[in-house]
Amino acid sequence: MKLEKNIALRTLTTMRAGGPARFFAVAENDAEIGEAVSFAEAEGVSLFVLGEGSNILISDNGIPGLVLKLGTNKISFEDYEKGQTLLVAEGGAHWDTLVEEAVLKNLSGIENLSLIPGTAGAAPVQNIGAYGRELADTLLWVEVFDRDRKKHKRLGKKECGLSYRESIFKKKEGASLVITRIALLLHPGGEPQTSYKDVRDYFETRHISAPTLADTRRAVVDIRTRKLPDLAKVGTAGSFFKNPIVTKKQHEALNTTYPGLPGFVVAKGSIKIPLAWILDHVCGLRGYREGTVGTYESQPLAIVNYGGATAKDIRAFADKIARIVEEKTGILPEREVLLVGDWAA
């Protein structure tokens, strides 16, 4: 395992902001993951596993510990019971490569998660989701290295505690677990999920009545490309906030004040509200900009670094947006993007 010091992290995150890592290494196999854990313990520093840096904001002070990237990227497909197929991917595998290969093999289950940036190992942490699907729909198990017990173990989906953008890996009880592999249960020749409005409208306008899995992937890629910032041009971590989930009574009250407010029923009769709609129609914040930071003109839920913004700038801007939403609706948006590193002072 090659160890480096004071490595700039802004170039390793999609937000293009943040300070350096005190130590940095890439683990090419399970043994090197163990080496990294031992090194961090010997130095008395924290260990942070970095995927593709697509859902985090690193402090300008950086990370005063060891930042570890997984260089493991193998993907395999195995026959499973009842004619299903198991996709097994190592933690460092590029997520969209998984989706592309699954669709090429006519395996359904993750086509709606096309073009989501990140790695396979990071996917369960956020329980990634889009366009009517989420990882929990297909995840069978994850393999992890338990840093406390110094051993590998397998967790079933239930043990991962997956919910809307949540998992055990974001909580204290999962803080010591490094995800090394994931297994997804896919369905040969299965029907694509096209009920989500954006996807449904895409096919209706093109008069495609029986879309294939490849059609669905193409639709999602086109929609995401049109709505979200180009990472080659600006910095962004995608959706900065979660969509709020409120009671039916709260939604009815808000809809009285703001007619046309969309709402989607989720578990236990709660209603999920598209925060982008509130940012646009209630707060007038679509395309709002302060200096080098702003909300994206095609998707106000995405906060954009137009170049040169510090992590402090971005956080302050996001906090201001959240306060405006709270003043207008009584809802304080919860960040989806994780704040990482030393935020003191």
Cα 334 → chain centroid: 14
Q: Comparing C-alpha atoms, which of 135, 134, 124 is closest to residue 169?
A: 124
Q: Which two tokens mark 131?
A: 């366009």
Catalytic pick among 133, 165, 217, 224: 165
Beta-bridge partners for 90 = 181
Active site residue 100: no
Distance set, CA 75 to CA 87, 99, 102, 184, 240 (Å) = 7, 11, 10, 11, 30
CA distance 38 to 43: 9
Please list, in sequence order, all residues whose beta carbon lies within 8 angstroms of the beta carbon of residue 277, skipping any fewer than 6 positions away: 261, 262
Pair 344, 338: CB distance under 8 Å? no
* Cα–Cα distance measured from residue 3 to residue 69, given in angstroms and rounded to the nearest whole number: 11
DSSP bridge partners of 303 = 295
User: Is 217 a catalytic site residue?
Assistant: no
Q: Is 159 a catalytic residue?
A: no
Q: Is residue 244 helix, strand or coil?
A: coil
Who contacts 82 (Cβ-Cβ below 8 Å, separation ≥6)? none
CA 151 to chain centre: 27
Amino acid symbol at 167: S
Q: Which listed residue (32, 100, 143, 336) is catalytic? A: 336
Nearest to 116 by CA among 105, 92, 100, 103: 100
Annotated catalytic residue, options 100, 111, 239, 315 = 239
Hunting for tokens 């009880």 — which residue is that? 173
Return the active site residues: 165, 239, 336
